[in-house]
Structure 1
Amino acid sequence: MTIQEIADRLVELSRNRQSTQAYRELFARDAQSHEMPGVPDGTVTGLDNLIAKSEAFDEMHREIHALPVTDPLIYQNFFTVGMGIDVTKQDGTRNQAHEICVYQVRDGKIVDERFVYSMPG
């Protein structure tokens, strides 16, 4: 797959709320995920761990009201998308968040993802 095809497929799967499928299909076995500095356990390595992180994130939410995802912007072996989420958590509180997601591609697979968002405080 080209980087454009990978980026378009990630956007499609994300818009359809199929993050586990996105990891299985598009990510390298040794891929890494990075949250903002200071987030506990903010760096995760390995496909199985990325899937577990994604599934744990999904389980924190009772209902997802909206999950907008922008079209990708591609430059060299990187692409970025903007993502938002409007959710009701398991405790009943409703929360909205927005982030920029940056992905690095090598040999037809995503090898690194980084999330940039405002930290509370």
Structure 2
Amino acid sequence: MTTQEVANEFVAMCKVGKWEECIKKFYSPDIKSIEPEGGAWGTVQGLDAIAKKAEEWHGMVTEFHESEISDPIVAENFFSMTMKSKVTLKGMDQPINMDEICVYEVNDGKVVKEQFFYTPMPEFA
């Protein structure tokens, strides 16, 4: 698959909430995931670490109110998308808006690196 094909299918799956299926289909076993400095997870590597990170994230959220994912932008072996969410986190009374840019690197049809850009919330770092 080309990077464009991976990006198109990856984003389409994410838009309908098929995150686990997307990870299984597209992530390399040795994927590297990079969160912003000061974030809760830092850098992790491998599918097991990605699964643990996802489990921890979902454990922090008490309710998902809204979610919007952009179409992908592709350049060579990279693609990016924006994710905008409105969620209520444990310990918070009011929902918060979360906006991030997600950048993915593709090699031989597999995502080998993901990096997220957002402003970390100190109380959850």
Q: TM-score, normalised by structure 1?
A: 0.90
2:95 corresponds to which residue?
94
Contact conserved, 2:106 with 2:112, CA < 8 A, in 1? Answer: yes
Provide the secondary structure at the position in 2 that maps to 1:67: strand
In structure 1, list runs of 5 or more residues that go unmatched: none
What amino acid is the match of 2:54? S
> What stretches of structure 1 move > 6 A for 4+ residues in a row?
none
Contact conserved, 1:105 with 1:111, CA < 8 A, in 2? Answer: yes
Contact conserved, 1:20 with 1:54, CA < 8 A, in 2? Answer: no
Q: Name the CA distance, whole Å, in 1 between partners of 2:18 and 2:94.
A: 23
Q: CA deviation at 1:39?
A: 2.4
1:28 aligns with 2:6: no
Q: Name the CA distance, whole Å, in 2 between partners of 1:61 and 1:119.
A: 15
In structure 2, list runs of 5 or more residues that go unmatched: none
Q: Name the CA distance, whole Å, in 2 between partners of 1:10 and 1:82.
A: 13
Root-mean-square deviation over aligned CA pairs: 1.6
Per-residue CA deviations over 1:45-80 (Å, capped at 9, x if unaligned) read: 001211221122122212111110000000000000
